[in-house]
Structures are given as structure tokens and as C-alpha cells.
Structure 1
Amino acid sequence: MYLGIDLGTSGVKALLIDANQKAVASGHAALDVSRPHSGWSEQDPADWIRAVDEAINALKVSHGAELAAVKGIGLSGHMHGATLVDSSDKVLRPCILWNDTRSFAEAAALDADPRFRTITGNIVFPGFTAPKLVWVAKHEPDIFKRVAKVLLPKDYLRLWLSGEHISEMSDSAGTAWLDVAGRRWSKELLDATELTESQMPSLVEGTEKGGTLRADLAASWGMKPGVVIAGGAGDNAASAAGMGTVLPGQAFVSIGTSGVLFAANGSYMPNAASAVHTFCHALPNVWHQMGVILSASDSLTWLSGITGKKPEELTAELGETLKAPGGETFLPYLSGERTPYNDAAIRGVFTGLAHQSDRAALTQAVLEGVSFAFRDSLEALRKAGTELARVTAIGGGSRSRYWLKSVATALNLPVDVPADGDFGAAFGAARLGLIAAENADPAAVLTPPRTAETIEPVGELSGAYHDAYQRYVALYPAIKGADQ
């Protein structure tokens, strides 16, 4: 048996799979996000430990024998978070999360230093880890002086699980300290933020061993000693491992809290100016590119809170037949946007509202707005040299057929829907745990799922979607100008 642990923004999932990669059971625990100021987003790492313990104890109750047979654990987690610990591994402050934009000025200053784009292949986004540390140095200098290690969220869990300070390439590529081509920490970039390599965790590949489960935790959960912990991956690379998106030309679209258009690459292909992320993959000598939307299904969740209707109730009102875009347009910039604008300050808008703009019209506009944001990411990937022939859909939003049809038509690409199964980040993490524990061939393990259905673009609406997308892209400079 193998265990995947995925630390999400809103909860933890622990997934057991067997040697045939069949999902056996899962445990869950919820997490909350603290937003003490506008643009801030934090979590207490102690809550992550509580949630993991809760999720695994749920498995112990329901599937104790299977849990006892676990040989390998893989870790996945939300990226970019700054988890700061002192020389005793005590957490110094709440973790500053991926969607926290307080360090936008610090990010701009680092990005103005040409070494960062040259070495990392990426814009320095406000959500990345390095500008957060510059912010801490400026605003919380006493804490900064006590920082012994900077850990990414899943790697803080690794510290608790194994007692070791270890990270891996895919997650570390999102810090703005990694030499992404060389797959190593950059002394030059660490120096630029007044940090040293000794304050960074050691690095392994995602498929390699990255620690061993502590004996006391193994005993508490009824597991055997010596369980291997894989390097694992950041959440998007872990999802790619779960989907088998590891070969050049393979891609997925993730309609989760945030949105990702992810493409695997067989070589390092940076183009920072496109605002596409170019990161290491979870496998050695593989990289990936992705466009990132900060508020994908989160946009629908926001509308759900406003209307008092559950997200699935809102999408059900639209039916399954795709409609031509109406007069309403939604820009999903509820917490700024990454691809293609790298704008932490921009905020979302509805335009074209009229007396007849009812709840269904607003829902339709929200789904279309996120679909057009994915189209923005597709155009950015093309500028970075990546062409896609099709994508596979994952994430909670992919349960809406209407939304899938909207995404397919906006991208003008077929969207493959996997057969029933769990192919997300927890599954990818479990696969990495299997590879590390058994020294298995990644190519033999990380295969794609069977496609249950393909959603084709709705050809008769391609013209209407094209016109609506042109209206959509014209709005950003208009509202950007209004903000200045």
C-alpha cells in the first residue's frame, strides 16, 4: 500500500492506493484561511499537522490493516508559502500563503533585477516565496533575524513526519531562489534577499527518497517502521503525476480554487515575459509550463456566497446546452491575477449589467470569464513556444458539463474527461511514494487514465465566443486605467 497526502488550501486529503494503483480509501480534514488585512492570506502550520493527523486517523479507523501495509508516502501541497522556523524548528509566524499579495512592491523590486528572470526563468510574482521574505525582513525584522529555515508548506509537514529539512525541485522552483535549469539553489539570488543556502532545505527529485517516517508517528498510526517518504511535488506537478501528464505535448486544465493550464515539456523552455510559469517537474530532467488563474472555481464560490445558492445549484440552472455569451462579462480578478498580467492590485468586475441580468446570467458570465482567463493562459503558452492539441480536465469545476463545454469552446480545443477515479494531487503524491519506495520506473507508473468522454468545442458558437473573448481582453486595460 502507498499513501498520498495532499495539503490543500481548504483541507487535507490522505489517499491510500494499492500496488495496482487502485484507490482504496481516503481521509479528509478541513482547513481555514485567515485574512487579517486586505490582500493577506495566512494559515497556522499547527493546523496542517492537526488536519493530517485527523485524516490519517480516519483511515486508521476505517482501513487499519491497509494503513499498516503502507511502504511509501508521497507529499503534495499548495506552493509558494513561506513557513519560517527557528533553530529549534519552532514556527515563527503564520505561513504567508500563495494567494497573499502583500509583497507586491518587494516582488516588483526583485523582478527589476535581471538576474531573477535569467536564473529562474520566471517573473517574480508577489505570491512567490522570495518577496515574502523581503517583506518580513522589512516589516518584521526581529522574526527575520531568527529564521533558521524557510520551508514550503508540504515540506513543513515533512519536517514533522520525518524530522528532516528536505524539499524537491517542482515546489522549490516556485520560490524565485531556484536555478530552474540547473535544478539547484542559486547562491546569487539568495544573497540578493539576504539569505544563505544553509537556510534552505536540501533538495531531491520528486521521485526520490526524501526522508523516513518517524517511529513514534508510525506507531501511533499503526504503521511499520521505516516507511519511505518521497520527495513529492507541488500541487500542480503532483496533479500532473496523478494525470500522467509527464510527456511533451500532454496537458491538463485544472478548474480548482485557482485555475491552471499545465503543459509538460521535455526541455527547459522559459519565457518570463509571457507571465507563464516555467518550473521543474516532479521527474528528473523534465520541466513544465503553466498559466495560472488566481480565482477559478473560487469565483463561483464567491457568487455562491452572494446568492445563497450552492455552486452546483447555480450551474444546474444553466442546464447542459452551451449558450452564446450574453451582454454580461465577468473578469475573475478577485485577488489579482498572474497570467498574463502579473497584477496583484487588479480586482474583478461585472460589466454589461441590465435589468434582465438575473442570477443565471451572472453565473453564465462567471463561468465564461474563467474560461476566457484560461484562453489568456493558452495564448501565453503559445508565446512561450508551447502548442497544445487537447487538454484533460481535472478539479472540482470539471464536474460541470456546462463549464467544460465553455472551456472547450473558449480554448477551441477538445477537453478529455477521465474515467471515474481519483487522479488529483493526492493520487499523484501516492504514485510518487510508490516510485520512491519501490525504486520503480516512473514511466511505467505515471500513465494517463482512460478517457471516458471528450467534450468538443461547440462549433456553432465559436464566432460568438471569439467576439466575447475580444470584449473580455479589452476590459483589463480599461479597468487598469480606471484604477490609476
Structure 2
Amino acid sequence: MYLGIDLGTSGVKALLMDDAQQVLASATAPLTVSRPHPGWSEQAPSDWIEATRDALRELAAGQDLSAVKGIGLSGQMHGAVTLDRADHVIRPAILWNDSRSQSQAARLDAMPEFREISGNIVFAGFTAPKLLWMAEEEPQLFAQVDCVLLPKDYLRLWLTGERVAEMSDAAGTSWLDTGARAWSDRLLAASGMRRDQMARLIEGSAVSGGLRGEVASEFGLAQGIPVAGGAGDNAATAIGAGTVAEGQGFVSLGTSGVLFAATDRYLPRPDSAVHAFCHALPGMWHQMGVILSASGALEWLSGIVGRPAADLTAELGTALRPPGEVSFLPYLSGDRTPHNSASVRAGFAGLSARSDRAAMTQAVLEGVAFAFADNLAALRAAGSDPAALLALGGGARSDYWLRVIATALDLPVLVPESGDFGAAFGAARLGLMAESSADPAQVCTPPRIGAEIRPDPALRGAFDEALGRFRDLYPG
């Protein structure tokens, strides 16, 4: 058996997989986010450990974990966990959706070497500007920093006692030479950091260390079993979904939205705000477009009108409608790809006295789909061109929304049969590869497809016209 642990923003999920890659059980423990000031987003790393303990205890109550042979980790990216020489946490972790370091990010991004070496824009959510903010605003605490870890790597420290990072997560720090898959002394120095403050780098399918006896005995696990390098959440999802070869891609409709394309080449295109990151497998990279509000936009509307999101989409029926006269810009939390604007905000256009709840729901679904179309255009300009997209995330339960996306992007959308193909499953697969040195091509198989949703040719022209209106509304 193999164990995958995914540290999300809202909870920790532990998943148990057998040798045939069948999911045996899973358990989730919740987390909360602290927002002590506007734009701030923090969590206590100790809460991650307690939530992981809770999830593992629930698993152990129903399963004998003594047969677990390997563990993999996945987690929210970009967060800054600062440790002193004794591995004590110096301050609460600053998370991926924290915007306090916008000015620091802009200053780093203005240095040509950051885009040149990291292959990415320095976003405020990335790790490097958080440490520069800390140096400027909390100098006494910054002086104590002996090591910076990413969130899932703090769990690894608890599990193994090792300070280790892996390529896919490290690529989101703005300190990695993403093409060379190594920390960049030049980028570290430019942001006031040193190489000795960085964790040891390995590939996601490699062994990072063995499970400590103290942790093993708590849950009935075997001491010393290998813990894989793991992956950032999106790369781990790709491992779970089998998106590991050139031309493969997925669209994820979570709170935020991701358009992900695997590639066997390093293809940076920072001017388009496309993320060019290492994949969790050696010799692989990925490109990614990000929408900060996808299912989150529908949940926002759900809260406004007081109806569950599933009821809102059900009101639209099953047959795809032509785009409505109401348009929606889905930038409730700003925009990442392709506009890179933290300040742009959402809005409806074209509302009239006859606009009803269904019209607003339709506009939200179409607005997110059109934002994905902008992401796809950016990915294609950067060198990726997926032939089809696997549909993942909670929003993928809406067949209507997937029809909108397929037609807006003019790409087939593949719907997996029932099953768990997310980040925790991908982490378990990485645990399997670390323990057995199995061929990734044999392990990272795609799920069985339950349905293929193709673009509606009769509505392609109407969707193209509506996409043009959508783009014209962008305030920039």
C-alpha cells in the first residue's frame, strides 16, 4: 500500500492506495486561514501537522497501515515557512494568496534576471517577495531565518527530519533556475537570501528520507519507509491524472482555475503570465495558466442569491445555449494569466430589467470559460497545444459548464469515470515510484474516460463573437 498526503489551504487529505493503484480509503481534516490585516493570508504550520495527524488517525481507525511501503506529499505552493537553526517556526506561514508583498514582487520582477532565469514573472504570491517583505518589515525575525521551506516540505520535516524540497514546488519560489533544475545563487542574492538557507533539492519521484520512528509508531506505520519528494498541488494532480507527456493537458475547476499542459521541453514565456514550472518527474516541465476565481465565482454568486451552486447550473438545463446578452469578468481576486493584474476586479455587463438569475449564472459560467480561452491562447503562444483537456475539480460535475468550456476553447473535454485522480492520489503514485523505482509511464496512466464532450459546431460562431465582447470589456 502507498499513502498520499495533500496539504491544501482548506484541509489536509490523506489517501491510501493499494499496489494496483486502487484507492482503498481517504480522510480529510479541515484547516482555517488567518487574515490579520487586509490582503494577508496566514496559517500556523503546527496546524498542518495536527490536521495531518487527524486525517491519519481516521485512516488508521479503518485500515491497517503497517503494510504501507511508501509515502508521497503534495501541497499548496508558494507559501513561506521560516525556520531558525533549531527548526522552530519563526512566524506564521505566509500563503500563496497573500498579497502584502506586491511592491517587493514588482521590484524583483523589474530585475531582468528573474524572468530570464526563473522563466516566470515574480508574482506577489510567490515565495521570494515574501522573504524580502519580511526583511524590510520584520527585520528582527528575518535575522533568525536559517531555512525557508514550502508548506508540504514542513510536513516532510516532521515526517523525516529532513530539510528537502523538490523541483515542481521550488519552481514557484522565484529562486529556481527552472531550466537547469537548481537553486540560482544569482536570484537568491538579488532577493537577500543565501544558498545555505535553501532545502536540498531532489526530483519528485526520488526518496527524500525515511519515516521517523516517533511518527511511524503513532499511526502503526513502519519506521524508515521512504517518503518521496512529492510535488506542488498542480503537478501532483497531473501525476494523479496521468498528464505527464507532451500534448496532454487538463482543465481544473476548483476555487481557482488551472489550464495545465505537460511538456518535455522548458518553454518559458513570462511576458504572457504563463507559468513555466518543472514537472514532478525528471526531464519534464509543464506550462500553466491560472484563473484566480473559477468555481469560486460560481460559489460567490451562489452566496449572493442564496441558492446552491448545483441548483443554479441545473436551471440552465442540459442543452447548450447561445451566449447570453449578459457578460461577466471573473476577476473577483484579480487576474493571473494572461493579464497579471492584482487590482482588476469582476463585473457584470449588459444587465437589463429582463436579466434574471439564470442569465447571471450563464454569464458566470461563460466568463470563466472565456478566461480559460485567454489562457489557452497564451499557452499556445508559449509553445503548448494540448489536443484535449481532462476535466478535473468540483466544477467538472456540471456537464453544462463543460459544454461551455469545450465550445469556448474549441477543444474536446474528457470526463473521467468516477474515481479520485487528484493531488493526494498523485502523491501516493510518487510514493510508489520512490519505493519501487517503477517506470513513470507504467505508473502514471490516465483514468478511464466516461464521456467526451465535444465543441458544438453550431454555436462556435456565437461563442467567438461573445469571446470578443468579453475581451473588449477588460479595463486594461
TM band (smaller chain):
over 0.9
1:90, 1:330 → 2: CA distance? 46
2:405, 2:43 → 1: CA distance? 32
* SS of residue paired to 2:297: helix
Q: TM-score of the superposition, structure 1-length normalised?
A: 0.96
2:36, 2:307 → 1: CA distance? 26
2:52, 2:449 → 1: CA distance? 31
* SS of residue paired to 2:428: helix
How far the C-alpha of 1:233 sits from its partner, in A, is 0.3
1:252, 1:408 → 2: CA distance? 12
* SS of residue paired to 2:77: coil
Is residue 276–residue 339 contact of structure 1 (8 Å, CA) maintained in 2? Answer: yes
1:325, 1:417 → 2: CA distance? 23
Tell me the residue number matched to 1:388.
386
Letter aligned with residue 456 of structure 2: V
Measured against aligned partners, the alpha-carbon deviations of 1:397-428 in whole angstroms (never above 9, x if no partner) come to 10110111111111110001111111111110
How far the C-alpha of 1:148 sits from its partner, in A, is 1.2
Percent identity, aligned pairs only, is 61
Tell me the residue number matched to 1:217.
215
Q: TM-score of the superposition, structure 2-length normalised?
A: 0.98
Verify: 1:24 aligned to 2:24, yes or no. Answer: yes
Tell me the residue number matched to 1:444.
442
Letter aligned with residue 403 of structure 1: W
Is residue 39–residue 335 contact of structure 1 (8 Å, CA) maintained in 2? Answer: no
| Aligned match for 1:366, one of 345, 357, 364 | 364
Tell me the residue number matched to 1:424.
422
How far the C-alpha of 1:20 sits from its partner, in A, is 0.4
Tell me the residue number matched to 2:263.
265
How far the C-alpha of 1:34 sits from its partner, in A, is 2.1
* SS of residue paired to 2:124: coil
Tell me the residue number matched to 1:127.
125
Is residue 99–residue 335 contact of structure 1 (8 Å, CA) maintained in 2? Answer: no
| Aligned match for 1:236, one of 234, 237, 253 | 234
1:462/1:8 CA distance change after superposition, 3 Å: same
1:108/1:419 CA distance change after superposition, 3 Å: same
Verify: 1:463 aligned to 2:461, yes or no. Answer: yes
| Aligned match for 2:193, one of 186, 192, 195 | 195
* SS of residue paired to 1:465: helix
Unmatched 5+ stretches in structure 1: none
Measured against aligned partners, the alpha-carbon deviations of 1:213-243 in whole angstroms (never above 9, x if no partner) come to 1111110101111111000000000000001
How far the C-alpha of 1:37 sits from its partner, in A, is 2.8
Letter aligned with residue 269 of structure 1: L
Matched pairs, number: 476
- Range with greater deviation from structure 2 (347-356 or 162-171): 347-356
Letter aligned with residue 259 of structure 1: G
* SS of residue paired to 1:273: helix
What does residue range 237-252 of structure 1 map to in structure 2 within 5 Å?
Answer: 237-252=235-250
Verify: 1:11 aligned to 2:11, yes or no. Answer: yes
Tell me the residue number matched to 1:402.
400
Letter aligned with residue 281 of structure 1: H
* SS of residue paired to 1:194: coil
- Range with greater deviation from structure 2 (234-243 or 379-388): 379-388
Is residue 13–residue 26 contact of structure 1 (8 Å, CA) maintained in 2? Answer: yes
Tell me the residue number matched to 2:102.
104
Verify: 1:289 aligned to 2:287, yes or no. Answer: yes
How far the C-alpha of 1:443 sits from its partner, in A, is 1.4
Letter aligned with residue 58 of structure 1: E
1:95, 1:359 → 2: CA distance? 40
Letter aligned with residue 47 of structure 1: D
- Range with greater deviation from structure 2 (100-109 or 172-181): 100-109
Verify: 1:34 aligned to 2:34, yes or no. Answer: yes
2:20, 2:384 → 1: CA distance? 33
Is residue 167–residue 203 contact of structure 1 (8 Å, CA) maintained in 2? Answer: yes
How far the C-alpha of 1:308 sits from its partner, in A, is 2.0
Tell me the residue number matched to 1:59.
59
Letter aligned with residue 55 of structure 1: A
* SS of residue paired to 2:12: strand
How far the C-alpha of 1:357 sits from its partner, in A, is 2.1
1:38/1:366 CA distance change after superposition, 3 Å: farther
Tell me the residue number matched to 1:306.
304
| Aligned match for 1:330, one of 328, 339, 347 | 328
Verify: 1:150 aligned to 2:148, yes or no. Answer: yes
Letter aligned with residue 5 of structure 2: I
- Range with greater deviation from structure 2 (343-352 or 407-416): 343-352
Is residue 404–residue 455 contact of structure 1 (8 Å, CA) maintained in 2? Answer: yes
Tell me the residue number matched to 1:178.
176
How far the C-alpha of 1:281 sits from its partner, in A, is 0.4
1:383/1:189 CA distance change after superposition, 3 Å: same
- Range with greater deviation from structure 2 (29-38 or 424-433): 29-38
Measured against aligned partners, the alpha-carbon deviations of 1:300-342 in whole angstroms (never above 9, x if no partner) come to 1212222222222222222222212212211111111110011
Letter aligned with residue 27 of structure 2: G
Unmatched 5+ stretches in structure 2: none
How far the C-alpha of 1:22 sits from its partner, in A, is 0.4
Is residue 99–residue 294 contact of structure 1 (8 Å, CA) maintained in 2? Answer: no
* SS of residue paired to 2:27: strand
Letter aligned with residue 10 of structure 1: S
